[in-house]
Amino acid sequence: MTSFSIEPMTATVGVEIEGIDLAAPIGDWVARSLRQALHRHGVLIFRDQIAMTRAHQADFARIFGDIVRSPLGLIADPDVVEIVHDETRPPTENIWHVDHSFSPAPPRGAVLRAIELPTAGGDTLFADMRIVWRRLPEAVQTALRGLDAVHDIAKFAPAACAAELRTAAPPTCHPVMKVHPATGEEILFVNEAYTTGFDGLDEKDGTVLLGYLLDQIRIPEVQCRLRWHPGTIAVWDNRSMQHYATSDYFPQRRVMDRVTIA
């Protein structure tokens, strides 16, 4: 039986896993243990996976769930989206977000693989929204229970295509406090990229409340920070985590391969 070790990235969020070759078949026991670790720690990091290919990455993602194919998927490898930033395509993911929170059923998670990195920078930060929820004062938690927030793709879309994107994916409401379907833990579910307001609150009150909640995500104690190296793989639970990709390396090139889990 394969054995592996788990090293915490911080006292609370994220772990590095050593001793698993993701280019080799993953047995049922390891797959089950990794699913449990993802639910528990929110972010799993694997280093030095140099032999891993796009096909291995997709196979690995499938141990966590079905793959969501995007229209942006590669022609030769439709399970994979290549995220390329360079001097002609500046980075844009430097905003705290839950992937696709504007959709009625946002993805469960993602597997991201470092392909080409700047000489320094381009780190990714993760925030644990279970901890953010637990740190809120009880009176705030009580006020938020039963409240829905509006998530709109147009908030974070380029102005030229925002209306078109919103027609394809109309704004959606999600509870501000969501319960994780696998662990039963309570999670604050609002994010800077897509949350625009709250159902039943006027714009002024909604803006103040949203600003307060988004400030809680910026507290370093709820975060971990990943420094990428070639062959680094990150898996995150999109239901309990938010992420933020730093854009400090422009105009250098950074290329990542991403597989999204339904």
| Catalytic residue list | 97, 99, 243, 258
95 binds ligand SIN (CB under 6 A): no
Whether residue 214 contacts residue 97, with contact meaning beta carbons closer than 8 Å, is answered with no
243 binds ligand SIN (CB under 6 A): yes
Task: Give whichever of 194 and 198 is closer to ligand SIN, judged by the CB atom.
Answer: 194
Query: Which amino acid is located at 185 in the chain?
Result: E
Task: Give whichever of 83 and 201 is closer to ligand SIN, judged by the CB atom.
Answer: 83
Interface pick for ligand SIN out of 131, 256, 259, 261 (rule CB under 6 A): 256
Find residue 44's DSSP bridge partners. 15, 235
Number of residues that bind ligand SIN (CB under 6 A): 8
- 93: Cβ contacts below 8 Å, ≥ 6 apart: 83, 243, 244, 245, 247
Q: Rounded distance, CA 76 to CA 79, Å?
A: 9
Q: Rounded distance, CA 195 to CA 203, Å?
A: 12
Task: Give whichever of 59 and 99 is closer to ligand SIN, judged by the CB atom.
Answer: 99
Instruction: Provide the b/e sequence for 211-245 (b: ≥16 CB within 10 Å).
Output: eebbebbeeeebbbebebeebbbbbbbbbbbbbbb
Q: How near is the Cβ of 16 to ligand SIN at its closest, in Å? A: 16
Q: What mask of x and - would describe binding to ligand SIN in positions 140 to 159, judged by CB under 6 A?
A: --------------------
- 51: Cβ contacts below 8 Å, ≥ 6 apart: 21, 23
Task: Give whichever of 14 and 206 is closer to ligand SIN, judged by the CB atom.
Answer: 14
237 binds ligand SIN (CB under 6 A): no
Whether residue 210 contacts residue 198, with contact meaning beta carbons closer than 8 Å, is answered with yes
124 binds ligand SIN (CB under 6 A): yes
233 binds ligand SIN (CB under 6 A): no
Interface pick for ligand SIN out of 193, 245, 259, 261 (rule CB under 6 A): 245
- Contacts to ligand SIN by CB under 6 A: 83, 93, 99, 112, 124, 243, 245, 256
